[in-house]
Chains A and B, each alone.
Chain A
Amino acid sequence: MTRVYVGMSGGVDSSLTAALLVEQGYDVTGVYMKNWTQDLPGMKCPWADDLADAKRVAVQLGIDFKVFDFENEYRDKVVEYMITEYKAGRTPNPDIMCNQEVKFKLFLEAALEDGADMIATGHYARVENGQLKMAADTNKDQTYFLYRVTRRALEKTLFPLGDYPKPVVREMAQARGLYTAAKKDSQGICFVGKVGIREFLSQYVEQQPGAIIDVQSGKKLGVHDGAIFYTLGQRHGLDLGGGLPYYVVGKDMDKNEVYVTTDLNDKSLWKSDVELHSVHWIGEEPRAGTYAKRIRHRAPIVKAELEVVGDKASLKVVDQQRAVASGQSIVLYDGDVCIGGGIVL
């Protein structure tokens, strides 16, 4: 019997994942990954409740249950990375890093070490012949977060939810009477939870007032509390009063200045060509050509011309799309196969 270790977060998705694997005849062990336990101002970290919920479901299913403690590694590999990137003026994606470093590396290795043959998670994605494919529910598809996972890891991974639409997943959980069937989905970055990224970063960086400058007139429009908190294309949170909305078109981390415009046609909001670094390919390196790209989770998929040079790549725009902040990931698809991607320079 194949032994599968399921990452159980205490949510409905991973609960049903475990239930389906049990039904499919696998020898299933539930594992709660303890990554983050710190409370943040205004929000108690729900980890203990989540852990209890995961364990409740494991007991319901009559499966073994373990806790893998990755708290130190998570802080080093994900949280530190995130803070460093923000400090450098970039906009990182910690979920992608968490999948790359924790779930599909540390967890996989620890599970195999502990006697598992495979791992499983509640991600909405599919694996076929070592290829990462979009979930049947394209609205819920989570391959954007998984593009940095290795082929070797994918070959050892099951995504039982990849074939189901989310509403059906909830129904299936309800039909099985799973304790977590009605539990609300977690929102935002997993460990930041309901607290905004700004509140989170404020714990680690000093707030420093700086100028908000209109990029066209050069006029100072107001004061912000740290360029670190602003991202290219961002509209909200500028607090500049009435009139047309302002968008962030750039920032200078050294001067701690944020540049904004009311002109939605400003060329820095529509940068056509993008350079990627730290590219990662799940299979072989793709040949130059036209691919589908996604600039963030759930963003519409548009075409782009790809050319790869070593660990870098350039993307020439085919379909016009809003610019992407430095540090974010662009993920590429060939049909419904996620081939990999890279990080915007």
Chain B
Amino acid sequence: MKTDLESIYLDHAAATPMSQRVIAAMQPYFSLDFYNPSSPYAPAIKVRRDYEAAKQAIAQAIGATADELVMTAGATESINLAFGSVSGHVVVPSIEHHAVLAAAKQHSHTTIEPDAHGRISVETVKQALRADTVLVSIALANNELGTIQPLRDIAQLIKETRAKRLADGDTTPLYLHSDASQGVGLLDVNVARLGVDLLTINAAKVYGPKQMGLLWADRHIVLKPQIVGGGQERGYRSGTENVAGTIGFATAMALADKHRKQEAERVGALRDMIEAQLTSAFPEAIVSGHKKHRLPGHLHISWPGIDAERLVFGLEAQGVLVATGSACAANKGTRSHVLTAIGLDDSTADGSLRLSLGALSTPENSKRAAESIIQVVQKEIERIKR
């Protein structure tokens, strides 16, 4: 994987570079194998077979079957399809991605609050469930903090509630949806092990193409198409199939599946090294997110009283690319809802950086990045003292 050699990229949670293998796998489908998979002649039928095989590979990577997948143009569309398929009360954590929060607002909904580490407890979900609740949607891992949710336990609660409803003769459905986009490269996303009923994945977060995603729905769930037309994707998502995108997605998922464990360990060690360097240089810095249940590549760190946007610009000038954990001057007053939800005060939230490591991270550039951060933060502290 190659990018601008000058820069050190620490924002894998925002976008990931496609690997050469993904690009190579996609390449033929832009020109040589450009055929519409619905066409009747042999070259098109080959494209259709390749497409189906790619979906099969993706399904395998999440422990599902291809006929339960709907390929979409990204996680936002998948989320819209999931929410658009139910009618009734929905439950979402307040720290979800805006795509989920906005979709929830289309329904009668309850937002539930995380603990100070951004974790949602089973008990909180339980209390929010109503007799007419049809959908609970909880991201596998939070995009800002990296906190991983106890999905299995929540899934157990959903199953028990469902069973109880049935025993009572109540046929109101109840599903658990999870947007696993943030965790997909580094965590187990097997649907059976997660225990979810619907799963969203964004290819762009796992070194696949952008505008490519999927919604997996357990086969007993009847989806309500949000995009109608020629009836592709079993009628759940019309429009000529994104063959190249799906092939790329499949390649990316296969690579992730193969290297997941060692990559999680590798990235986690680098993250821990950066965290140790920063917290020893600045004992007053606040690390947010769950200590144990946290994505191995994520580090959310705050310096109260510092303007994180200045840090981003200062680091950018040194070729280190990071995200602010919260607001920028252009949208003053709209701080990150995630940081507010976990109880960070404004001064801490405004002084937050989110570092997310991944394939482009190496021991050398991680060390250099930490040194740059220390230097830029030091400079800001001195400027403020002046």
Is A312 an interface position by the 8 A CB rule? no
Q: Quote the shortest CB–CB distance from A235 to chain B (angstroms).
A: 40
**In the docked arrangement, what's the CA distance between A179 and B379, Å?**
19
CA distance A51 to B313 in the complex (A): 12
A37-58 interface with B by 8 A CB criterion: 47-48, 51-52, 55-56, 58
List chain B residues, Cβ under 8 A from A55. 309-310, 313, 329
Pair A56/B316 contact, Cβ less than 8 Å: yes
Contact call A51/B383, Cβ cutoff below 8 A:
no
Q: Give every chain B residue within 8 A of A58 (Cβ-Cβ).
A: 310
Interface residue count for B (Cβ, 8 Å)? 13
Which residue of A48, A60, A62 is within 8 Å of B330 (Cβ)?
Answer: A48
> Which 4 residue pairs are nearest across A and B when measured between Cβ atoms?
A48-B330, A59-B313, A56-B313, A59-B310
How many whole Å from B321's CB to the nearest CB in chain A?
13
Known: A56-B316, A59-B317. A51 touches B310 (CB 8 A): no
Q: Nearest chain-B residue to A64 (Cβ)?
A: B383
What is the minimal beta-carbon distance from A241 to any residue of chain B, in angstroms?
Answer: 46
Q: Which of A52, A62, A67 contacts B379 (CB 8 A)?
A: A62
CB distance from B15 to the nearest CB of A (A): 19
| Chain B: CB-nearest residue to A56 | B313
Is B314 interfacial (CB-CB < 8 Å)? yes
Contact B328 A65 (CB under 8 A): no
CB pair A51 B330 closer than 8 Å: yes
Is B332's beta carbon under 8 Å from chain A?
Answer: yes
A52 touches B328 (CB 8 A): yes
Chain B 62-105, CB-CB to A under 8 Å as 1, else 0, gives: 00000000000000000000000000000000000000000000
In whole angstroms, how far apart are the Cα atoms of A52 and B331 in the complex? 11
B315's nearest neighbour on chain A, judged by CB, is A59
Contact A52 B317, CB 8 Å, known A59-B310, A64-B383, A65-B310:
no
Task: Find the B residue at minimum CB distance from A62.
Answer: B383
Q: Which residues of B contact A32 (CB under 8 A)?
A: 329
List B contacts of A67 (CB < 8 A): 329, 332
Specify the chain B residue showing the minimal Cβ separation from A60.
B317
Q: Which residue of B lies closest to A49 (CB)?
A: B330
Per-residue A-contact encoding for B21-37, CB less than 8 Å = 1, 0 else: 00000000000000000
Interface residues of A in 251-302 (CB under 8 A from B): none
Interface string of A18-49 (1 = CB under 8 A from B): 00000000000000100000000000000110
Please determine whether A52 and B330 come into contact, CB atoms closer than 8 angstroms. Answer: yes
